[in-house]
């Protein structure tokens, strides 16, 4: 069977691509927000988690952060996903994996997975994700390129006071102490009625 001139041209072009290694245009990777805070100088290792979890694997599937991490009232912390959320996919994906079998056990017994929190707000600090999400910040701005992390670790120094103040100054947010700290009363500090310590000191 003889090919038409057009078909012959298409076959020739395909042959050039196959045999000369000409690269076809690749699909561009999704653009992620930049990290805006410095790296953690201590370079801590990822904590041991009850189940292996890779942000890299899941974000490559274009699963949005807030599909798993919701921000319920009062908006302070991002939560971990319910096992039912994980099982949305894993009732049929990788079901032979030991980790997924363990996940299914958590789900069948209605147990929350005891994830180890990676970033911890320091004592005495009042802080909320919701204010920062409302200001337009994204996860990667504060936590670094989570889309590249096979295991989540404390990559940035976002929980340090200096970083918070520096970021607030750059973005014209409040930097007075009461923005992040609630001053305890004298009664809470010494466990006695306010004024008692002052009275005692004047009697010496």
Q: How many CB atoms lie within 10 A of CB 155?
A: 22
Cα 55–Cα 42–Cα 148 angle in degrees, nearest 5: 20
Task: Provide the pLDDT for residue 183.
Answer: 73
Task: Provide the pLDDT for residue 31.
Answer: 85
Of 29, 36, 30, the residue nearest 137 (C-alpha): 36
**What gap in Å lies between CA 195 and CA 189, rounded to an integer?**
12
Task: Provide the pLDDT for residue 182.
Answer: 85
The total number of residues written for the chain in this structure: 204
Q: What is the pLDDT of residues 136-166, one digit of tens each?
A: 999 999 999 999 999 999 999 999 999 999 9
Residue 196 has pLDDT above 90, yes or no: no
Task: Provide the pLDDT for residue 190.
Answer: 52
**What gap in Å lies between CA 89 and CA 124, rounded to an integer?**
39
- The predicted model scores a pTM of 0.73
Confidence of residue 132 (pLDDT cuts 50, 70, 90): very high
CB of 168 closer than 8 Å to CB of 161: no
DSSP of 86-139: HHHHHTTSSTTSHHHHHHHHHHHTTPPP-PPPSS-PPTT----HHHHHHTT--H
**What gap in Å lies between CA 79 and CA 115, rounded to an integer?**
10
Q: What is the pLDDT of residues 29-88, one digit of tens each?
A: 568 999 999 999 999 999 999 999 999 999 999 999 999 999 999 999 999 999 999 999
Q: Provide the residue ranges of all domains of the chain, joining segments of one domain with +.
A: 29-80+115-181
**What gap in Å lies between CA 48 and CA 152, rounded to an integer?**
10
Arithmetic mean of pLDDT, 3-21? 44
Task: Provide the pLDDT for residue 11.
Answer: 41
Task: Provide the pLDDT for residue 12.
Answer: 45
Q: Quick one: tokens of 143?
A: 């936590």
Arithmetic mean of pLDDT, 169-174? 94
**What gap in Å lies between CA 28 and CA 25, rounded to an integer?**
9
Arithmetic mean of pLDDT, 3-13? 46
Q: Which of 1-5, 6-10, 189-193 has the lowest mean pLDDT?
A: 6-10
Task: Provide the pLDDT for residue 3.
Answer: 46
Q: What is the pLDDT of residues 176-194, one digit of tens each?
A: 999 999 876 545 555 555 4
Residue 13 has pLDDT above 80, yes or no: no
Please report which helix (H) or strand (E) contains residue 187, including its range.
helix 186-190
Arithmetic mean of pLDDT, 108-113? 95
ω before 71 within 30° of 0 (cis)? no
Which string of b and e fits 72-110 if b means at least 16 CB within 10 Å? eeeeebbebbbbeebbeebeeeeeeeeebeebbebbeee
């Amino acid at each position: 069977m003889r090919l038409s001139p057009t078909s012959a041209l298409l076959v020739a072009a395909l042959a050039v691509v196959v045999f000369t290694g000409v690269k076809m245009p690749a699909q561009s990777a999704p653009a992620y927000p930049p990290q805006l805070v410095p790296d953690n100088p201590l370079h801590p290792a990822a904590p041991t988690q009850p189940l292996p979890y890779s942000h890299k694997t899941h974000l490559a599937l274009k699963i949005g952060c807030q599909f798993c991490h919701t921000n319920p009232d009062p908006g302070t912390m991002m939560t971990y996903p319910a096992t039912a959320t994980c099982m949305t996919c894993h009732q049929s994906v990788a079901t032979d994996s030991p980790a997924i079998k363990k996940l299914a056990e958590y789900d069948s017994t209605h147990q929350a997975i005891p994830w180890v929190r990676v970033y911890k707000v320091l004592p005495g600090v009042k802080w909320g994700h919701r204010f920062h999400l409302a200001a337009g910040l994204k996860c990667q701005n504060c936590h670094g390129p989570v889309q590249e992390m096979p295991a989540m670790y404390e990559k940035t120094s976002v929980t340090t006071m200096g970083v918070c103040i520096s970021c607030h100054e750059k973005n014209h947010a409040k930097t007075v102490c009461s923005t992040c700290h609630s001053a305890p009363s004298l009664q809470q500090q010494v466990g006695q009625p306010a004024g008692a310590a002052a009275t005692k000191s004047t009697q010496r």
